[in-house]
Amino acid sequence: MNEPERRKVSLAGLGLIGAGAVLGLTLAGSGPTPTDTAAAPRPATSTPADPQRDPGTPS
């Protein structure tokens, strides 16, 4: 039976794969926790571009 072909893997490539895995896990786990969302600033509300006019007032 033939042995499977072995490929050389560079240590730099393994380092990049490991760094990508660590970065992915860090970003995936850095979401806000429920206690943080209460302290998060709310976005400012804006007025509508064309405000509703009172039908009783002349334009």
Taking only the tens place, the pLDDT of each residue in 22-37 is 999 888 886 665 555 5
Which tokens belong to 13? 């490539």
pLDDT(38) > 90: no
With vertex at residue 39, the alpha carbon angle to CA 36 and CA 40, rounded to the nearest 5 degrees, is 85
Largest CA distance in the chain: 95
pTM above 0.85, yes or no: no
Which tokens belong to 42? 């709310």
Cβ-contact 59, 53 below 8 angstroms: yes
